[in-house]
Structure 1
Amino acid sequence: MVEATTAPPETGSATSGAPAVQAALENIAHIATLPEITVKIIDLVENPESTARDLHQVIENDPALCARILKVVNSAFYGLPGQIGSINRAIVLLGLNAVKNIAIAVSLTKLFSGSQVTPTFSARDLWVHSICVGVGSRLLSGKIGLRLPPDEAFLGGLMHDIGIMVELQADRAKLLAMLDQHQQGKTFLDAEQQVFGADHQQFGQGLCEKWKFPSAFSFVTGYHHQPLALDAESRTLTALVYVADRLAVQGGFGYTGTVADTDIDTQVLDALKLTEHAIEEVREELPEAIEVAEQLTN
């Protein structure tokens, strides 16, 4: 592990790259949208007057989504007792928020679809990496004594690099130029700033704000390379994703080019109260857990 440093953040919030971010989101307005059913689910769950019955009525109108949610809740990934045969039962056992997060997760697969972009980068490899970071975040959340829902940890990791897909959809030529700069030795973040005028953290944060996601997910997408730039009260999920991101890169899971330094800042570990032993346990558990998660999200 690297010793803690006091280096400034690598980038600012989405607002510091606002013109580039706004232009990109406008360019992909037809793509950067969640399925209507997912938007309905988010709006419903955010309404404090909504009930489990309300959520059930929305989901049952989409048989494909219903089937995928049941596939997830019946998997070893959740380890629930017995077979869950209905969405209503899943909602009762997991809660409205968990089912909402599962619905978002299965919706993201469409955004990460695409062919090989260059010999060293593909949307598929980025998706594999994102799954690994999601799984790693979920496993890490179980190692700390904080009440962070595992589905929230998984979703945070799953979407941390979503800003790269914004770049790809907004301007493929610029993404190719950026990847070329990266291949020539620039860090991923520096190459993004040079070519796009913003980096994937800023694009991802902008997309989360467009989707009106909870601030925890905006923080993850916007600060997963420098979680200590956030207030202590706001950084837990982002810090978990930061650690999981480095574990994924160290393990060579999917696309690994975004992280220049794979060492984990000891200040982040201290903030999470994560021990070396816990890190090693997660490292050992990752491969099997990733297999399960990949089956669920494909």
Structure 2
Amino acid sequence: MAFLFPEHPMSPATATTDAETEAMIRGSIDEISHIATLPEVTLKIIELVDNPDSTAQDLNKIISHDPALGARILKVVNSAFYGLPGQIGSINRAIVLLGLNAVKNIAIAASLTKLFRGGKICDGFDARELWSHCIATATACRLLAERAKLGKGDEAFLAGLIHDIGIMVEIQARRTDFVEAVNHAVASEGTFRASEIAVLGATHEQFGAALCKTWKFPETFQNVAGFHHEPRLLPEGARALAVLVHIADHLTKTLELGFTLDVEGELDPALVAELNLTQADLDEIATGLPEAIAEAQGVFSGG
């Protein structure tokens, strides 16, 4: 069964912001547009797949203009990550087997690796740790989606991969303030999100939702970026993917996988139950998570 989400009338980028804050967020997004963004070919893929008249041939034609991206997509498709029978030698064949939307999600995931490159910028933050956390969360999302029989593991994986993309906005557009927020959160008894608001004027969720909107990501991904810490702020029928990421986020923190300073409090069992999961399910997934993460890192890191 696929994820089905109705239109959410409230934009996650503006649901909890005033005009001044929204303008600040918009300025930060504009600032990074010339620093780092998704490759143009990936943005074209997103636009194409969102067009209901697009065909597999249209998608294949776009990807063929970027051999490096095509090679990365085939690397993913032919990995144990997908477990397809036989070796897939062409993008067109991959599209036929997986569908346009799945290939789009793989293209985005493959393109994101370059945006997360970097190193330690202060004692409390290392970009490599953020990437490790995002890969771990994405892998957990995929396993949780399979266990909950939600379908579309590629969509769940990408949701986990992009959930903290707002932190990259903060680093690129407001690095000094971001460092101050991290240092404040580490030194105080307050939360990272409270420090973000005090220093930056907004949280990484707000920055992330705005960036996803700029990149024309589906509203479901805007909601994940904007509400993964508080999925109950979304309507019940529109929050399954955000709840999935929220659970995965807590699972990776429990296992101390990468940067998790922003993950607050304890996981509410009621949210786990919303996806028809149990604590036993989480325990079993946690046991197999390190091996699955190693596979995902081998597929999505580098290149």
Instruction: Return the TM-score normalized by structure 2.
Output: 0.91
Asked if 1 retains the 8 angstrom alpha-carbon contact of 2:45 and 2:62, the reply is yes
Map 1:36-185 to 2 at 5 A: 36-146=40-150, 148-185=151-188
State the shift of 1:273 in Å.
1.1
Moved more, 265-274 or 237-246: 265-274
**Distance in 1 between residues matched to 2:179 and 2:238, nearest whole Å:** 34
State the shift of 1:102 in Å.
0.4
Stretches of structure 1 that go unaligned for 5 or more consecutive residues are: 1-11
RMSD after superposition: 1.2
Instruction: Call closer, same or farther: CA 1:45–1:13 in 2, change over 3 Å.
Output: closer
Stretches of structure 2 that go unaligned for 5 or more consecutive residues are: 1-10
**Distance in 2 between residues matched to 1:13 and 1:59, nearest whole Å:** 31
Q: Does 1:277 align with 2:280?
A: yes
Asked if 2 retains the 8 angstrom alpha-carbon contact of 1:161 and 1:221, the reply is yes
Q: Which amino acid aligns with 1:228?
A: R
Instruction: Return the TM-score normalized by structure 1.
Output: 0.93
Q: How many residues align?
A: 285
Q: Deviations over 1:136-191 (max 9, x none)?
A: 00000011133x31000000000000100100000111011111111112201000
**Distance in 2 between residues matched to 1:210 and 1:239, nearest whole Å:** 23
Q: 1:190 aligns with which of 194, 205, 215?
A: 194
Map 1:230-249 to 2 at 5 A: 230-249=234-253
**Distance in 2 between residues matched to 1:52 and 1:292, nearest whole Å:** 28
Give the fraction of aligned pairs with identical amino acids, expressed as a percent. 52
SS at match of 1:14: coil
Q: Which amino acid aligns with 2:72?
A: R
Instruction: Call closer, same or farther: CA 1:53–1:13 in 2, change over 3 Å.
Output: closer
State the shift of 1:14 in Å.
2.5
Structure 1 match to 2:227: 223
State the shift of 1:32 in Å.
4.8
SS at match of 1:75: coil
Q: Does 1:209 align with 2:208?
A: no
Structure 1 match to 2:291: 288
Q: Where in structure 1 do 4 or more consecutive aligned residues deviate above 2 Å? A: none
Structure 2 match to 1:35: 39
Asked if 2 retains the 8 angstrom alpha-carbon contact of 1:132 and 1:248, the reply is yes
Q: Which amino acid aligns with 1:159?
A: I
Q: Deviations over 1:84-135 (max 9, x none)?
A: 1111111111000000000000111121111211123111110000000000
State the shift of 1:30 in Å.
0.8
